[in-house]
A and B are shown apart, each in its own frame.
Chain A
Amino acid sequence: MTDKSMKFVPGQPDMWAFVLFETLVFTSYFAVYLIFRTASPQLYLQSQAHLSLRIGIFNTIVLLASSWAVARCVQASRDGRFASASTNAYLATALGFVFLGSKIFEWAKVIRSGFGFSTNEFFMHYYFLTAIHCLHVLIGFVALGVIIYQLRSPARRSQELVETGATYWHTVDFLWVLIFAMLYVVR
């Protein structure tokens, strides 16, 4: 393998600019959340107790698996194994939908327990962060769609676009890792 000697930026460098910018925006959301959290720790702790850590961990692992599938897809496509790449892209999409479904299930559960968007500050942050992340997941499906579209025809198959879409999808993943820590674990 020549990977060791050849240095390259995966995908369009432009997408990396987006990733870094969007990460900063999310960091500012988290910072605001933490500042307000420290102002009324009991309210946040008691509200947080109504979230299920199990569902959170399940969601995280599903999304990590989806990311893993995309990483496999990129490597397969680079090695010219396009069938395997496609399979992994579909797998990633399917896991993305599992995440989405479990997210909707969790929202429904929390709403049924009587906690809405405007119930209190914690749930405001909870719904805001999960919803804006969910929007990123939906946009991520477009990115995965681009990957699948690229892989389908031999005439297209731009490795750069495949990697660009993958970079976006991993961003969705690591943003969730941070959101998960913020909402479910932080004390």
Chain B
Amino acid sequence: MKSGVNNRLLVVWLVLSAITVGYFWMDRTVDHDGILRPSAVVTASAVMIALVKVRIIFREFMEVRKAPALLCRLTDAWIAIIAVSLLGCYFIGSAVG
């Protein structure tokens, strides 16, 4: 039972690390011929992937999974707030600028 719990944590860490390494691939796809260009798709996916990782950390490492519903909802609400503010700032800023 105990090792089962610890294996779960190991899997969580492996998943998180794999997602992180995935950024490599994402970074490569945007640039052609070494020219840097802004990309709303990359930005939006980077933010969303980061938030997925944050949510996994909340749920698994920080044990929100086992916590009362209030804390679950609060952390989810916070992730929504972060997503809305970051993407909102980026897209509104891009539209205005």
- Contact present between A and B (CB < 8 A): yes
Which A residues are within 8 Å of any B CB, using their own CB? 1, 3-4, 6-10, 16, 20, 23-24, 27-28, 30-31, 34-42, 45-46, 48-49, 53, 57, 60-61, 64-65, 67-68, 70-72, 74-75, 79, 81, 163, 166-167, 170, 173-174, 177-178, 180-181, 184-187
Q: 9 nearest interchain CB pairs?
A: A38-B93, A181-B50, A185-B46, A68-B13, A187-B39, A45-B36, A34-B89, A187-B42, A41-B38
How close is B59's CB to chain A, nearest CB, in angstroms?
11
Q: Enumerate 14 A-B pairs (CB-CB under 8 Å) in ascending A order.
A: A1-B1, A4-B66, A8-B66, A8-B67, A24-B81, A27-B85, A38-B89, A38-B94, A45-B36, A48-B36, A53-B27, A72-B9, A74-B63, A181-B50
Report if A10-B46 is in contact (Cβ < 8 Å); known contacts: A53-B24, A75-B5: no
Determine whether the beta carbon of A180 is less than 8 Å from that of B50.
yes
Interface size of B as a range: 35 or more
How close is A120's CB to chain B, nearest CB, in angstroms?
15
How close is A170's CB to chain B, nearest CB, in angstroms?
5
Chain B residues touching A, majority SS: helix
Q: Scan B56-96; emit 1 where CB is below 8 A from any A CB, else 0.
A: 01101111101111010011001001100110011011101
Which B residues are within 8 Å of any A CB, using their own CB? 1-2, 5-6, 9-10, 12-13, 16-17, 20-21, 23-24, 26-27, 30, 36-40, 42-43, 46-47, 49-50, 53-54, 57-58, 60-64, 66-69, 71, 74-75, 78, 81-82, 85-86, 89-90, 92-94, 96-97
